[in-house]
Structure formats: structure tokens, C-alpha cells
Amino acid sequence: MSTSNLVIALTKGRILEETLPLFAAAGIVPADDIAKSRKLLFDTNLEQVKLMVIRGSDVPTYVEFGSADLGVAGKDVILEYGSEGFYEPLDLQIAKCRLMTAEPKRRKPLQGRLRVATKFTHTAKRYFAEQGKQIELIKLNGALELAPSLGLADSIVDIVDTGKTLEANGLEPRELITTISSRIIVNKASMKIKNRAIREIVAKLRAAVEAAAA
């Protein structure tokens, strides 16, 4: 391993649970038990590599502005962030899910301008514009599934994994906007300045992803 110091921003929560085994397979192991600690920055078994554990929606910001050299972020978060301020060299093939529209079960298509509730407002706006559909967006940060039954929106755009959350709230998935998985993102300046160290880590992670798929 070459000698540049590297900070890697990880997304906490369910993505982290799938990230740590891949990192371990790539030879990067946190010095403390991340799940049991309230720290945000962790040393690893590699002296020059540190891990930050933060909210997914903050990972692109830390990487774009160079506070972290690399990051692990869901494609949903990357699309919503909508920047070309970093590279995306590797699909980790973890935390797979779908970004979908969802509506009340068995409801017939509505005429006119739909009201759509979502936290993915930029992505939804782009998607409906591509479809040539006029919509009114309502930004919500949580409990989206309640919006149709409470009359706040006609439809929602949200992440679907098993579909149980939609089902439990009387909704069904309709249109697939895109499939999602977690990606490695890399700060552009770091890619130049710390090229060798970053390429080494990305290559090891790529091998770990391939081994997990085999």
C-alpha cells in the first residue's frame, strides 16, 4: 500500500452493514466496533486509512469538497445530489433496491396534474419531465407512504426493496424509475494527487465485489 493518507466516508445504517464485510475482504478493517461506538471517525488496521461514518445524504458533499477522498453512497443519493463533482468508479453491488412511483392499490390512472410526494425531488422532477408529465412536487423527508391516504399527494416516489412498506400502507409500486445500489465515489483532486493509493483500494474492492458475486 502506498503512503497517502486517505479518508473514506461511509453511509451509516443498512448500507454500512453490507459495506464492512466488503471492506474487510479488501483488507480494510476498522480499529473499533463501529456499531457500538458513537465516534464519527475511525482508525483502521491500515495506518493511512481512516473511515468516517455519516448520513448517506452527506457523503457526496464530503467527497465533492475533499474532506473525504472516497465515499460509499447509494445511487439514489448520488442521483439526487446531481453533481459531476466526483468520479464513480465502482458499483459495490450492495444495498440493491429500486426507486419507484407508488400509488394507492388498484387506483385507476388520474387525469391532469399529479401531486407527487417524495424526498427525491430532483430525481422525480427529471423523471416526470422525461415522461412529458406535468406534476406538482411535494417535498417530504419521511412517512411518505401516508401522503396519499391523507390526501396530501396522488402518488409518491420512494425506495422499494421487498415492497412490504408500500403494502402495509395500502400502496402498490407502479413505474420503475431506476435500480439502485451503493457506489464508490472519489474526489477529483484526490484521484490525481493520491492516484496510486486510491487505485489500489478501488482494485481491492473490485476484487472483493467479484468474489462476493462468484
For ligand AMP, the binding residues (CB under 6 A) are 14, 74, 95, 97, 158-165
Instruction: Give the nearer residue to ligand AMP in terms of CB position, either 63 or 95.
Output: 95
Grid cell listed for 125:
422532477
Nearest-approach distance from CB 63 to ligand AMP, in angstroms: 18
Nearest-approach distance from CB 198 to ligand AMP, in angstroms: 25
- Of the candidates 202, 177, 206, 4, the one whose C-alpha atom is nearest the C-alpha of residue 87 is 202
Strand partners, 179: 98
Count of beta carbons in the 10 Å neighbourhood of residue 211: 11
Instruction: Give the nearer residue to ligand AMP in terms of CB position, either 51 or 160.
Output: 160
DSSP 53: E
Nearest-approach distance from CB 188 to ligand AMP, in angstroms: 25
Instruction: Give the nearer residue to ligand AMP in terms of CB position, either 29 or 159.
Output: 159
Instruction: Give the nearer residue to ligand AMP in terms of CB position, either 111 or 162.
Output: 162
Nearest-approach distance from CB 152 to ligand AMP, in angstroms: 17
Residue 152, judged by CB atoms within 10 A of its CB (0-12, 13-18, 19+), counts as: middle
Task: Enumerate residues 6+ apart whose C-beta is below 8 A from 62.
Answer: 9, 52, 54, 68, 71
Grid cell listed for 47:
495506518
Do the Cβ atoms of 8 and 50 come closer than 8 Å? Answer: yes
Instruction: Give the nearer residue to ligand AMP in terms of CB position, either 6 or 177.
Output: 177
Nearest-approach distance from CB 163 to ligand AMP, in angstroms: 5
